[in-house]
Amino acid sequence: MPYCYYTCNLIPFEIVARNGFTARWLGDHVRGPATQTRRDALSVHPMTCPYVTKLVAAADQMLAGADAAATAPGAEPRAAHTADCIVVPGGCDAARRMGDLLAAAYPDRVFVLPMPRSAVPEVTETLAADLCRLDEWLSARLPDGAARPAADPGSGPH
């Protein structure tokens, strides 16, 4: 089953699971400061939040296929699956910029989920539309014939 990596817990895990992905926190794949990086790795402004900088490096390694053996402590090594993807909720400006950078480098494998920044009534409609887009994007990511969990009647944004 492919992984849907996420950068913070502001994603709806039910949508991820319903579309046949296993949710994995990208923070489990952050490397130590002494670890070598790819020569052509994505560059980040030096004043960027250190957490976001490390997540960008981990995502770049994973999406570039260089992360085949890197796993969370105690997990079995696993080669990157071609349907593996990343969802980046734009909960802060640095996270949104991270999502934009990764989506530009890996346009078919990164989804930036806009997060509301106000409490006006229209926000509910906008967030619902964005969650539907995420649901459709994840559904389209799996190859034809890939196993999906049984649908739960009445669940989901549709």
Domains of the chain: 3-141 (3.40.50.11890)
Specify the pTM.
Answer: 0.78
Query: Could you give the percent of the chain with pLDDT greater than 90?
Result: 47
When pLDDT is averaged across residues 95-112 and rounded to a whole number, the result is 94
pLDDT given at position 33: 62
Do residues 98 and 65 make contact, with C-beta atoms less than 8 angstroms apart?
A: no
Buried b (16+ CB within 10 A) or exposed e, 128-156: eebbeebbebbeebbeeeeeeeeeeeeee
What pLDDT score does 153 carry? 43
In which element (H, E) is residue 5 found? strand 3-6
**Side-chain half-sphere CA neighbours of 59 within 13 A:** 33
27-52 residue pLDDT tens: 998 877 656 555 456 777 778 888 88
pLDDT given for residue 148 in this prediction: 59
Find all residues with CB under 8 Å of 119, minimum gap 6, and list them: none
pLDDT of residue 118: 86
- Per-residue pLDDT of 44-95, as tens digits, reads 777 888 888 889 999 998 888 744 444 445 555 555 578 899 999 998 899 9
